[in-house]
Structure 1
């Protein structure tokens, strides 16, 4: 009984911590006549260095002359984010809820930063000096008909064009089928 109570308390504490959102904001944009940016982070798994890096990057873009407005979208890694004006004059960065079509934006940047970190770390594990070229959430990928069950995959990329990301996922065990265009389909990233 004591263990059940202890674990219940720990679970409750974890849920409470995960639901608490921290607000972060840039501080140098106003000196260039631009609104500051504001983000919400609820996950404690996001390293503070990633948050600082992201905010510094926004400040550098504004200092270099870029201008952003409420209602615009901005690509961060592969994620499409949306800017929304707040009552205090900042630009809130919102991300897709990853559940709704059409896209519904939520006041968070958690998924964006987690996926950016994951993709960056994956690429750097193969080639540390690689320049990253992210597809957009709005683009498609070409997949082999059995892509969910493939045991030996080939993930390759050609030059992206408009809504085509250029990514191909092939089955290395299907020599004959991989030559037949009917065995492939475009799906949303």
Structure 2
């Protein structure tokens, strides 16, 4: 396990923030820790039970017996959210979502896992799917998930966290900006934005996503 922490007690009198990565590269903890370090230097004071958004994920800080603040992240599969110590998934998914956006030459537009999307009745059980993003407003991420070209009239709202818990294949694409679309059919992936289009049969990153552990 990789574990890194801030050391502000003598200088800024802020509790140490501890970022652990039970799995994943050691350097993965550094950008997460840097976020908290920068915020603290600018005057932000974090406390027990506070949440922050990083990428599309939400991190929670939990006080320890020795007065430090541990970073916890959601455990997928449990609705409502159950928290687990560490930030491995947060780091991996942040990097993968940024990398997918780069394939189309666009900047990522991160939703929040607390925002909603619209799913068609057959989406959760279907092998193949399509997803389309409209502009995000308020609690609406703008994402539509379906097995058809358009979401049917009896589609329902669901949180992105619920959708991703049951269909983790969508996670790499959630930060694609408005007007983007994704098609997964028979193991092949096609992503598009405007006139730009990338397919998994000619792109190494996309070819690895359906069967990889990059988002786990």
The TM-score normalised by the length of structure 1 is 0.72
Task: Give the structure with the higher percent helix.
Answer: 1
Structure-2 residue corresponding to 1:181: 153
Q: Tell me the secondary structure at the aligned position of residue 19 of structure 2.
A: strand
Q: What is the alpha-carbon distance in structure 1 between the residues aligned to residue 13 and residue 142 of structure 2? A: 38
Q: Cα distance, 1:48 vs. partner?
A: 3.1
Q: Is the 8 A contact 2:118 2:156 kept in 1?
A: yes
Structure 1 stretch 64-73 or stretch 152-161: which is displaced more? 152-161
Q: What is the alpha-carbon distance in structure 1 between the residues aligned to residue 145 and residue 151 of structure 2? A: 13
Max radius of gyration: which structure? 1
Matched, 1:116 2:94: yes
Listed as ranges, the gaps of 5+ residues in structure 1 are: 1-20
Q: Cα distance, 1:147 vs. partner?
A: 2.8
Structure 1 stretch 99-108 or stretch 57-66: which is displaced more? 99-108
Q: Cα distance, 1:120 vs. partner?
A: 1.5
**1:80-103 superposed Cα distances (whole Å, 9 cap, x missing partner):** 221111122211011122233332
Q: Is the 8 A contact 2:3 2:29 kept in 1?
A: no
**4+ residue runs over 4 A deviation:** none
Structural mapping, 1:43-122, within 5 Å: 43=23, 46-122=24-100
Q: Cα distance, 1:34 vs. partner?
A: 1.6
Task: Give the structure with the higher percent strand.
Answer: 2
**1:58-83 superposed Cα distances (whole Å, 9 cap, x missing partner):** 11111112221101112221222211
The TM-score normalised by the length of structure 2 is 0.64
Q: Cα distance, 1:152 vs. partner?
A: 6.6
- Say which structure, 1 or 2, has more relative contact order (CA 8 Å, 6+ apart): 2
